[in-house]
Chains A and B, each alone.
Chain A
Amino acid sequence: MPENAEKIRPKAAFFSFTCCEGCQLAVLSCEDELPDILRALNIVYFREAMTEKRVEPSQREDYDIAFVEGSVTTQKEITKLKHIRKKAKTVIALGACSSTGGLNCLKNRFPMDFVKKTVYGKYAEKYKKTFETLPVRPIDSIIKVDCYLHGCPISKTEFLSAFTALLMGKTPITQNYPVCVDCKMAGNICVFEKGMTCLGPVTRAGCDAVCVTYGCICWGCRGLVDDPNVSAHKETLKRYGLTAESMLRSFDLYGNCSLRKSGSLGVRPAKK
């Protein structure tokens, strides 16, 4: 390794907000590639895996790439996130929770006081500060995001290809066509033919339609494609005798945050 290798290796940090940490785990699950990843990056912060990388972002100068998983649900997280943006050249949203708010957004169907009281009961009032919570938001409602790695969890292949692109100084490409394309390539029978409903026609691809391959439907975890043909999807549902209610329910399993944003079944504006 050349002497100035430390300077060449991009400084990277992994941050985790409100989530299950499954997307960081997906990174750690690249067992074959992990030694190379660790060689290629100068990891400056990765609390879940590394003690020597425990220094808080506020005490760090800067980093080239910040991977951020999880959505934002507390004031503290907002402050920390803004700080990360200031210090990082590139911010990558890792997974559904940070990209679109993910499943966490199901919480937003209810007023926060009700949410706290249901879970913590009398303690919600007693230990007010401990159990503080805000409606769930994706990280791009607070800061600018340079690249989104969608999915719940992220796709390993997509992570590795984005990672390679970043190392080469290129902007990672994420798919902007529906899951149906992936699903055809996987050779699956369309779930509509099996009498089920599916969000594949409007959901962003890049997952190899793994949920359909393994006997289920597309739940829409990767968010809507930039220009989904939403009304055509409604038509399809109608043709197969499905109700608007069940459709809406499927739509808001992952789409609650973005749906709220535009107030209808609309589309979140594509990020520049």
Chain B
Amino acid sequence: MKKNLHIKIHEITRVEGHGDIVIDIRKGRIKELRLDIIESPRFFEVMLVGRKYDEAQHIMSRICGICAVSHTSASLKAIEAAMGMTISRQSLLLRKLAFCGESIQSHILHLFFLVFPDLLGAGSIAPLLTAEPELARTGLELKRLANEICAVVGGRHIHPISLFPGGVAHTPEEADLKRLKKALLASFAKLDYTLGFLSNIPVPQFAKPRETISLKARGEYPLHDGKPYSDKEGAIEPEEYSRKVKEYCVNHSTAKHARTKSGTFMVGALARLNNNFKLLSPRAKAAAKKAGLTLPLENPFMNNMAQLIECFHLTDEAAGHIDSLIENGLKSEPVKKPRNGFKGGRGIGIVEAPRGTLYHDYTIDKNGIVKKADCVIPTAQNLRSIEDDLKAFVPTLLDRPREEIRRGVETLVRAYDPCISCSTHIMDVRFV
């Protein structure tokens, strides 16, 4: 075993945003192990202050290019809760459909562009286009379909347009939805092929008991709706999220960290599977069985597989939403206005973004102007867990060559699918 080791990985590649990893081992002991977040902070809370309520979702979508639909959805839910607005069933179905599209898009992007190159010893998807053309093409096709879902509903997948306070400002054509449904059903074969590939790749043995938090709902796998739930502490009331999930700052990160009463916790696909496995669609359950998953998932490397299992579910769910939309008959609907005599108020919107539970919390005054905003981002909630896992994982690698350690460390960080741009856009400090 090596006694001394110093590795600094400057700007981890194939993650969204800028982060460094610093590892310093002296005499076989970890002296320093940090995930430095060096992304420039953007100060979204301040950006939102003084803006009109119907600009909020437009501004907050810009927190992240990958999970723009999630930020928009959480933002809309917060605005609508604060101002007592309700939306039609059609609007809800359309929003949920776009949500499915984004989650598939994000998972596929992560798996094919960021994770699979690791598994195949490549640096990016580019060499895979020639070395593994079928696999690479499968990824591109799945991703294109997911983007199309968002585009048909929202106008585009990066910063969707039609998702607006009080409803959805554009009604898609039935023919477009039918085309999507056909493509969704055809994409199961591609997901099966991907599952065959991923289940054959050995996963590093690194199980560690952990607290997992996600939304939980009755009757549906919670993505767009539900209540936060910890597998250790039970249900978390929306109003008490800031006391149960406490954010704090560290000097080596422009993104905040977070902890619960018991300390470190994890959010994301793995956490959702742990808390809601029973609610997955039959196809997703079958896929999990095929992959040999056993619950609870305690190995962070399994987050990749959890994302793929979710893709099966999301594809089923998207197809179901399309059926319901067509059954109900698509009609053009105006978006609803805030209720009369609105005196100002606070609203909390919580969704399961691809990377985990996302909270938006706004205070809006009687003129519809945002006075205060707070946002808790999935990656910020995971940073402490990533560092804890690294601290446990690196010592198991110390007898390996340096390059392998470096690769192992990056692979672990990537498995969390961190979105560093998002996490540096956090707002409002609450002191611990």
Residues of A participating in the B interface, judged by any CB pair closer than 8 Å: 16-26, 28-29, 31-32, 34-35, 38, 43, 46-54, 56, 73-74, 77, 102-104, 106-107, 109-110, 114-116, 118-123, 126-127, 130-131, 133, 152-153, 210-211, 213-216, 219, 246, 249, 253
> Among the interface residues B48, B63, B159, which one has the most CB atoms of the partner chain A within 10 A?
B159
Q: Are B429 and A53 interface neighbours, CB within 8 A?
A: no
| Bound form: Cα–Cα A116–B158 in Å | 28
Q: Which residue of A lies closest to B156 (CB)?
A: A210
Q: How far is the CA of A167 from the CA of B155 in the complex (A)?
A: 29
Find the residue from A51, A52, A126 having the highest chain B CB count within 10 A: A51
Q: Which residue of B lies closest to A52 (CB)?
A: B123
Q: Which of B140-148, B237-245, B278-286, B347-355 binds A?
A: B140-148
Query: B159 touches which one: A46, A74, A77, A153 (CB < 8 A)?
Result: A153
Given A119-B429, A130-B254, A215-B162, A47:B11 Cβ within 8 A = yes
Residue pair B161, A216 in contact (C-beta under 8 Å): yes
Q: A residues within 8 A CB of B46?
A: 106-107, 110, 114-115, 118-119
A118 pairs with B428, CB closer than 8 A? yes
A77 with B66: CB separation less than 8 A: no
> What's the Cα separation between A59 and B64 when bound, in Å?
30
CA distance A29 to B101 in the complex (A): 14
Partner of A20, one of B43, B62, B429: B62
CB pair A115 B13 closer than 8 Å: no
Residues of B395-431 contacting chain A, CB below 8 A: 421-422, 426-429, 431
A110 to B140 CA separation, bound complex (whole angstroms)? 43
Known contacts A109-B50, A214-B162; A51/B169 CB under 8 A: no
Whole-angstrom distance between the Cβ of A155 and the nearest chain B Cβ: 9
Interfacial residues of chain B within 10-52, with CB under 8 A of chain A in the complex: 10-11, 13-18, 39-43, 45-52
- B59 touching A106 by the CB < 8 A rule? yes
Q: Do residues B41 and A133 form an inter-chain contact, with CB atoms below 8 A? A: yes
B170: which A residues are within 8 A, CB to CB? 213-215
Q: What class of interface size applies to chain B in its complex with A?
A: 35 or more
Which A residues lie within 8 Å of B335 (CB)? 215
- Say whether B158 contacts A249, CB under 8 Å: no
B65 touches A77 (CB 8 A): no
C-alpha spacing A109/B16, complex, angstroms: 28
Q: A48-B13, A119-B46, A123-B429 are in contact. List 9 more A-B contacts (CB 8 A).
A: A22-B62, A46-B124, A48-B16, A104-B42, A110-B46, A152-B159, A215-B170, A215-B335, A253-B59
Contact B62 A152 (CB under 8 A): yes
What are 5 pairs between A and B in contact, CB < 8 Å?
A: A31-B144, A74-B40, A119-B43, A130-B251, A214-B161
Closest 10 CB pairs of A and B: A22-B65, A215-B169, A52-B123, A121-B429, A214-B155, A50-B124, A215-B170, A123-B249, A106-B47, A214-B161
Residue of A24, A28, A52, A119 touching B45 (CB-CB under 8 A): A119
* Distance of A49 from chain B, by nearest CB (Å): 6
The interface residues of chain A lying within 8 Å CB-to-CB of B157 are 29
Q: Which of B17, B117, B161 contacts A211 (CB 8 A)?
A: B161
Shortest B139–chain A CB gap in Å is 9
Report how far A76 CA is from B48 CA in the complex, Å.
26
List residues 227-250 of chain B with CB under 8 A from any CB of chain A.
249-250
Contacts A123-B429, A130-B254, A153-B65: A28 and B161 contacting too (C-beta < 8 A)?
no
Q: Which residues of A contact B362 (CB under 8 A)?
A: none
**CB–CB B40/A50 < 8 A:** no
By a beta-carbon cutoff of 8 Å, the part of chain B in contact with chain A is 10-11, 13-18, 39-43, 45-52, 55, 58-59, 62-66, 68, 109, 113, 117, 122-126, 129, 140-141, 143-144, 147, 154-159, 161-162, 164, 168-170, 249-254, 335, 421-422, 426-429, 431
Q: Is the interface of B mostly helix, strand, loop or mixed?
A: loop
Chain B positions within 8 Å of A22 at CB level: 62, 64-66, 68, 158-159
Shortest C-beta distance, A200 to chain B (Å), equals 14
Residues of A within 8 A of B65 (CB): 20-26, 153
Whether B42 pairs with A107 at a CB distance below 8 angstroms is yes
Most buried by A among B158, B161, B251: B158
In the complex, which residues of chain A have a beta carbon less than 8 angstroms from the beta carbon of B250? 127
A19 → B minimal CB distance (Å): 7
A49, B42: Cβ atoms closer than 8 Å: no
On whether the beta carbons of B113 and A49 are closer than 8 Å, the reply is yes
In the complex, chain B residues whose CB is within 8 Å of the CB of A153: 65, 156, 158-159
Q: In the complex, which residues of chain A have a beta carbon less than 8 angstroms from the beta carbon of B109? A: 25, 28
In the complex, are the beta carbons of A130 and B126 less than 8 A apart? no
Given contacts A22-B65, A109-B50, A119-B429, contact A50 B159 (CB under 8 A): no
| With known contacts A22-B65, A130-B254, A49–B125 Cβ distance under 8 A | yes
Residues of B within 8 A of A51 (CB): 13-14, 117, 123-124
Are A119 and B62 in touch, CB under 8 angstroms? no
Chain B's nearest CB lies how many Å from the CB of A58? 11
Report chain A residues within 8 Å CB of B158.
Answer: 22, 25-26, 29, 153
A38 in complex: contacting residue of B14, B126, B254, CB < 8 Å: B126
* Residue from B48, B122, B140, B426 in contact with A31 in the complex, judged by beta carbons closer than 8 Å: B140
Interface centre among B50, B62, B144 (most CB of A within 10 A): B62
**A103, B64: Cα distance in complex, Å:** 12
The distance in angstroms between the C-alpha atoms of A151 and B253, with both chains bound, is 30
Cβ A120 vs Cβ B10 within 8 A: no
Q: Are B14 and A48 interface neighbours, CB within 8 A? A: yes
Which residues of the partner chain B approach A16 to less than 8 Å between Cβ atoms?
A: 18
Q: Indicate whether A131 sits within 8 Å of B52 (C-beta atoms), given known contacts A29-B158, A115-B43, A120-B249.
A: no
Give B221 Cβ to nearest chain A Cβ, in Å. Answer: 26
CB atoms of A50 and B13 under 8 A apart: yes
